[in-house]
Amino acid sequence: MKIGALEAGGTKMVCAVGDEQGRIQVEQSIPTRTPEDTLPQILEFFREHSIEALGIGCFGPIDLRKDSPSYGSITSTPKLAWQGCRIVSYFQDALGIPVGLDTDVNASMLGEAFFGAAQGLTDCLYLTVGTGIGAGILSGGQLIHGLVHPEAGHVLVQKRPEDPYPGHCPYHPSCLEGLACGPALEERWGKPAAELPPEHPAWVWEADYLGQALTGYLMVLSPQRMILGGGVMHQAQLYPLIRRRVRELANGYLKAEELNHLETFIVPPACGGRQGILGCLRLGYAAGQEG
Protein backbone atom coordinates (compact mmCIF):
# COMPACT_ATOMS: atom_id res chain seq x y z
CA MET A 1 0.00 0.00 0.00
CA LYS A 2 1.24 3.48 -0.85
CA ILE A 3 0.91 5.40 2.41
CA GLY A 4 1.38 9.04 3.31
CA ALA A 5 2.88 9.89 6.69
CA LEU A 6 2.66 13.27 8.38
CA GLU A 7 4.61 13.92 11.57
CA ALA A 8 3.04 17.22 12.60
CA GLY A 9 5.34 19.07 14.97
CA GLY A 10 5.38 22.51 16.46
CA THR A 11 8.35 23.70 14.40
CA LYS A 12 8.19 21.50 11.31
CA MET A 13 5.90 19.13 9.48
CA VAL A 14 7.68 16.01 8.19
CA CYS A 15 5.88 14.52 5.18
CA ALA A 16 6.78 11.14 3.72
CA VAL A 17 5.49 8.45 1.41
CA GLY A 18 6.22 4.79 2.08
CA ASP A 19 4.65 1.46 2.92
CA GLU A 20 3.62 -0.53 5.98
CA GLN A 21 7.04 -2.21 6.11
CA GLY A 22 8.66 1.13 6.89
CA ARG A 23 10.24 1.61 3.46
CA ILE A 24 10.23 5.36 2.80
CA GLN A 25 10.32 6.46 -0.83
CA VAL A 26 10.32 10.25 -0.50
CA GLU A 27 10.33 12.78 2.31
CA GLN A 28 10.01 16.54 2.73
CA SER A 29 10.06 18.92 5.70
CA ILE A 30 7.80 21.98 5.78
CA PRO A 31 8.01 24.72 8.46
CA THR A 32 5.04 24.91 10.83
CA ARG A 33 3.52 28.35 10.45
CA THR A 34 -0.25 28.90 10.39
CA PRO A 35 -2.72 26.29 9.14
CA GLU A 36 -3.62 28.57 6.22
CA ASP A 37 0.00 28.67 5.11
CA THR A 38 1.20 25.18 6.04
CA LEU A 39 -1.64 22.77 5.26
CA PRO A 40 -1.92 23.61 1.52
CA GLN A 41 1.82 22.90 1.11
CA ILE A 42 1.40 19.50 2.77
CA LEU A 43 -1.65 18.75 0.65
CA GLU A 44 0.27 19.54 -2.52
CA PHE A 45 3.05 17.15 -1.50
CA PHE A 46 0.64 14.25 -0.93
CA ARG A 47 -1.37 14.97 -4.08
CA GLU A 48 1.81 14.68 -6.14
CA HIS A 49 2.38 11.14 -4.86
CA SER A 50 -1.13 9.62 -5.21
CA ILE A 51 -1.26 8.02 -1.77
CA GLU A 52 -3.95 5.49 -0.79
CA ALA A 53 -4.11 6.32 2.94
CA LEU A 54 -2.59 8.87 5.32
CA GLY A 55 -1.35 8.55 8.90
CA ILE A 56 -0.90 11.64 11.06
CA GLY A 57 1.00 11.88 14.34
CA CYS A 58 0.17 15.33 15.66
CA PHE A 59 1.17 17.68 18.46
CA GLY A 60 -1.70 18.23 20.83
CA PRO A 61 -3.84 18.11 22.71
CA ILE A 62 -6.06 16.60 20.00
CA ASP A 63 -9.54 15.09 19.98
CA LEU A 64 -9.23 11.35 19.30
CA ARG A 65 -12.79 10.33 20.21
CA LYS A 66 -14.40 9.20 16.97
CA ASP A 67 -17.91 9.84 18.32
CA SER A 68 -17.05 13.46 19.13
CA PRO A 69 -18.22 16.35 16.91
CA SER A 70 -14.68 17.74 17.03
CA TYR A 71 -12.91 14.44 16.28
CA GLY A 72 -9.66 14.99 14.43
CA SER A 73 -9.21 18.55 15.71
CA ILE A 74 -6.33 20.16 17.54
CA THR A 75 -7.82 21.51 20.78
CA SER A 76 -6.19 23.47 23.62
CA THR A 77 -2.71 23.79 22.16
CA PRO A 78 -0.63 26.82 23.17
CA LYS A 79 0.00 27.25 19.41
CA LEU A 80 -3.01 29.54 19.19
CA ALA A 81 -3.26 29.64 15.39
CA TRP A 82 -3.83 25.86 15.40
CA GLN A 83 -6.56 25.73 18.04
CA GLY A 84 -9.66 24.20 16.48
CA CYS A 85 -7.84 23.12 13.31
CA ARG A 86 -9.72 20.10 11.88
CA ILE A 87 -6.63 18.40 10.54
CA VAL A 88 -8.24 15.02 9.77
CA SER A 89 -11.23 16.34 7.81
CA TYR A 90 -8.97 18.75 5.92
CA PHE A 91 -7.01 15.92 4.34
CA GLN A 92 -9.88 13.43 4.22
CA ASP A 93 -12.06 15.84 2.24
CA ALA A 94 -9.28 17.01 -0.06
CA LEU A 95 -7.75 13.61 -0.84
CA GLY A 96 -10.76 11.31 -0.48
CA ILE A 97 -8.75 8.65 1.34
CA PRO A 98 -8.76 7.10 4.85
CA VAL A 99 -6.84 9.13 7.43
CA GLY A 100 -5.51 7.76 10.74
CA LEU A 101 -4.69 10.11 13.60
CA ASP A 102 -2.89 9.83 16.92
CA THR A 103 -0.62 11.93 19.09
CA ASP A 104 2.94 12.45 17.94
CA VAL A 105 4.28 10.47 20.90
CA ASN A 106 1.87 7.58 20.28
CA ALA A 107 3.11 7.54 16.70
CA SER A 108 6.68 7.29 17.99
CA MET A 109 5.64 4.49 20.34
CA LEU A 110 4.08 2.69 17.38
CA GLY A 111 7.24 3.12 15.33
CA GLU A 112 9.36 1.63 18.10
CA ALA A 113 6.85 -1.20 18.56
CA PHE A 114 7.03 -2.27 14.92
CA PHE A 115 10.59 -1.35 14.00
CA GLY A 116 12.60 -0.47 17.10
CA ALA A 117 13.26 -1.04 20.80
CA ALA A 118 9.74 -2.26 21.65
CA GLN A 119 9.50 -5.06 19.10
CA GLY A 120 7.95 -8.15 20.65
CA LEU A 121 6.69 -6.27 23.72
CA THR A 122 3.07 -5.69 24.69
CA ASP A 123 3.56 -3.04 27.40
CA CYS A 124 5.97 -0.19 26.86
CA LEU A 125 6.36 3.55 27.37
CA TYR A 126 7.95 6.00 24.95
CA LEU A 127 8.83 9.37 26.54
CA THR A 128 9.99 12.31 24.48
CA VAL A 129 11.96 15.04 26.26
CA GLY A 130 12.38 18.09 24.06
CA THR A 131 10.51 21.35 23.54
CA GLY A 132 7.77 19.63 25.52
CA ILE A 133 7.50 16.32 27.31
CA GLY A 134 4.96 13.64 26.42
CA ALA A 135 4.52 9.89 26.39
CA GLY A 136 3.10 7.27 24.10
CA ILE A 137 1.95 4.22 26.02
CA LEU A 138 1.46 0.68 24.75
CA SER A 139 -0.64 -1.47 27.10
CA GLY A 140 -1.70 -5.01 26.29
CA GLY A 141 -0.51 -4.43 22.74
CA GLN A 142 -2.76 -1.38 22.27
CA LEU A 143 -2.03 2.34 22.39
CA ILE A 144 -3.69 4.04 25.37
CA HIS A 145 -6.12 6.89 24.69
CA GLY A 146 -8.68 6.96 27.51
CA LEU A 147 -10.76 10.04 28.31
CA VAL A 148 -8.59 12.30 26.12
CA HIS A 149 -5.09 10.87 25.76
CA PRO A 150 -2.15 10.62 28.17
CA GLU A 151 -0.40 13.88 29.03
CA ALA A 152 2.48 12.31 30.90
CA GLY A 153 4.56 15.47 30.77
CA HIS A 154 2.13 17.11 33.14
CA VAL A 155 2.50 14.73 36.07
CA LEU A 156 3.57 16.62 39.18
CA VAL A 157 7.06 16.04 40.55
CA GLN A 158 8.73 17.16 43.77
CA LYS A 159 10.75 20.29 43.14
CA ARG A 160 14.32 20.32 44.42
CA PRO A 161 14.61 22.74 47.38
CA GLU A 162 17.59 24.50 45.79
CA ASP A 163 15.83 24.98 42.44
CA PRO A 164 14.56 28.62 42.22
CA TYR A 165 13.13 28.23 38.70
CA PRO A 166 9.36 28.97 38.64
CA GLY A 167 8.61 26.46 35.88
CA HIS A 168 7.97 26.76 32.16
CA CYS A 169 4.42 25.37 32.09
CA PRO A 170 1.69 28.04 32.30
CA TYR A 171 -0.72 25.50 33.83
CA HIS A 172 1.37 23.64 36.43
CA PRO A 173 4.36 25.26 38.16
CA SER A 174 5.89 21.94 39.20
CA CYS A 175 4.97 19.49 36.48
CA LEU A 176 7.62 17.42 34.71
CA GLU A 177 7.39 19.41 31.48
CA GLY A 178 7.55 22.72 33.33
CA LEU A 179 10.75 21.75 35.14
CA ALA A 180 12.55 19.44 32.72
CA CYS A 181 11.72 20.31 29.09
CA GLY A 182 14.33 21.88 26.80
CA PRO A 183 13.11 25.48 27.22
CA ALA A 184 13.09 25.03 31.02
CA LEU A 185 16.74 23.96 30.92
CA GLU A 186 17.67 26.98 28.82
CA GLU A 187 15.72 29.45 30.94
CA ARG A 188 17.08 28.05 34.21
CA TRP A 189 20.73 27.81 33.19
CA GLY A 190 21.02 30.54 30.53
CA LYS A 191 22.18 28.18 27.77
CA PRO A 192 20.52 25.62 25.48
CA ALA A 193 20.82 22.04 26.72
CA ALA A 194 23.23 21.19 23.89
CA GLU A 195 25.70 23.78 25.22
CA LEU A 196 25.77 22.53 28.81
CA PRO A 197 28.83 20.32 29.48
CA PRO A 198 28.33 16.73 30.70
CA GLU A 199 29.60 17.59 34.19
CA HIS A 200 27.15 20.50 34.62
CA PRO A 201 24.83 20.17 37.66
CA ALA A 202 21.89 20.62 35.29
CA TRP A 203 22.06 16.95 34.39
CA VAL A 204 21.77 15.69 37.98
CA TRP A 205 18.71 17.88 38.43
CA GLU A 206 17.27 16.76 35.10
CA ALA A 207 17.82 13.12 36.00
CA ASP A 208 16.10 13.68 39.34
CA TYR A 209 12.95 15.09 37.74
CA LEU A 210 12.85 12.48 34.99
CA GLY A 211 13.65 9.72 37.48
CA GLN A 212 10.75 10.76 39.70
CA ALA A 213 8.33 10.63 36.77
CA LEU A 214 9.66 7.34 35.40
CA THR A 215 9.34 5.72 38.82
CA GLY A 216 5.70 6.81 38.89
CA TYR A 217 5.10 5.45 35.39
CA LEU A 218 6.80 2.21 36.41
CA MET A 219 4.54 1.76 39.41
CA VAL A 220 1.31 2.64 37.58
CA LEU A 221 1.85 1.16 34.10
CA SER A 222 4.26 -1.71 34.81
CA PRO A 223 5.89 -1.44 31.37
CA GLN A 224 8.30 -4.03 30.05
CA ARG A 225 10.61 -1.27 28.80
CA MET A 226 10.86 2.53 28.88
CA ILE A 227 12.26 4.31 25.83
CA LEU A 228 13.50 7.88 26.19
CA GLY A 229 13.78 10.06 23.09
CA GLY A 230 13.70 13.73 22.12
CA GLY A 231 16.36 16.40 21.78
CA VAL A 232 17.29 16.63 25.47
CA MET A 233 18.00 12.89 25.54
CA HIS A 234 20.80 13.36 23.01
CA GLN A 235 22.89 13.90 26.15
CA ALA A 236 24.23 10.38 26.62
CA GLN A 237 25.32 11.08 30.21
CA LEU A 238 21.65 11.40 31.21
CA TYR A 239 20.81 7.71 30.82
CA PRO A 240 23.02 6.35 33.64
CA LEU A 241 21.98 9.24 35.91
CA ILE A 242 18.30 8.53 35.29
CA ARG A 243 18.73 4.79 35.82
CA ARG A 244 20.49 5.43 39.11
CA ARG A 245 17.70 7.76 40.27
CA VAL A 246 14.97 5.28 39.31
CA ARG A 247 16.83 2.52 41.18
CA GLU A 248 17.02 4.74 44.28
CA LEU A 249 13.36 5.75 44.16
CA ALA A 250 11.99 2.30 43.35
CA ASN A 251 14.03 1.05 46.30
CA GLY A 252 13.74 -2.62 45.40
CA TYR A 253 9.96 -2.67 45.79
CA LEU A 254 9.21 -4.37 42.48
CA LYS A 255 10.71 -7.82 41.93
CA ALA A 256 11.44 -8.48 38.26
CA GLU A 257 14.65 -9.63 36.62
CA GLU A 258 14.41 -6.81 34.06
CA LEU A 259 14.73 -4.23 36.85
CA ASN A 260 18.11 -5.70 37.80
CA HIS A 261 19.36 -4.57 34.39
CA LEU A 262 18.15 -1.01 33.93
CA GLU A 263 20.60 -0.50 31.07
CA THR A 264 18.26 -2.64 28.95
CA PHE A 265 15.06 -1.42 30.63
CA ILE A 266 15.52 2.36 30.28
CA VAL A 267 16.89 2.78 26.78
CA PRO A 268 17.20 5.21 23.85
CA PRO A 269 15.08 4.75 20.71
CA ALA A 270 16.30 2.19 18.19
CA CYS A 271 14.87 3.77 15.01
CA GLY A 272 17.58 6.37 14.54
CA GLY A 273 15.20 9.30 14.97
CA ARG A 274 12.73 7.83 12.47
CA GLN A 275 10.27 6.39 15.00
CA GLY A 276 7.70 9.15 14.53
CA ILE A 277 7.42 8.99 10.77
CA LEU A 278 7.53 5.17 10.83
CA GLY A 279 4.67 5.15 13.31
CA CYS A 280 2.69 7.47 11.04
CA LEU A 281 3.07 4.95 8.22
CA ARG A 282 1.54 2.32 10.49
CA LEU A 283 -1.31 4.68 11.42
CA GLY A 284 -2.00 5.20 7.72
CA TYR A 285 -1.87 1.49 7.04
CA ALA A 286 -4.35 0.76 9.83
CA ALA A 287 -6.72 3.45 8.52
CA GLY A 288 -6.47 1.97 5.02
CA GLN A 289 -7.27 -1.51 6.33
CA GLU A 290 -10.36 -0.18 8.10
CA GLY A 291 -11.43 1.46 4.83
Residues 211-217 have a mean pLDDT of: 98
β-bridge pairing 124-129 and 225-229:
parallel
The SS3 call for residue 214 is helix
CA distance 256 to 267: 17
Query: Is 173 in contact with 199 (CB distance < 8 Å)?
Result: no
Beta bridge partners of 290: none
Record the pTM: 0.94
CATH architecture of 117-267: 2-Layer Sandwich (3.30)
pLDDT of 246 strictly over 90: yes
Residues 111-139 have a mean pLDDT of: 97
Mean pLDDT across the chain, nearest whole number?
96
Q: Which residues contact 246 (CB under 8 A, 6 or more apart)?
A: 211, 214, 215, 218, 262, 266
Topology agreement, domain 3-104+273-290 and domain 117-267: yes
Query: Is 138 in contact with 122 (CB distance < 8 Å)?
Result: yes
**What's the confidence (pLDDT) of residue 270?**
98
* Domain regions of the chain by residue span: 3-104+273-290, 117-267
**Tens of pLDDT, residues 225-237:** 999 999 999 999 9
CA distance 210 to 237: 13
Q: Which residues contact 52 (CB under 8 A, 6 or more apart)?
A: 1, 2, 3, 97, 288
CATH number for the segment(s) 3-104+273-290:
3.30.420.40
**What's the confidence (pLDDT) of residue 117?**
98
Query: Is 149 in contact with 62 (CB distance < 8 Å)?
Result: yes
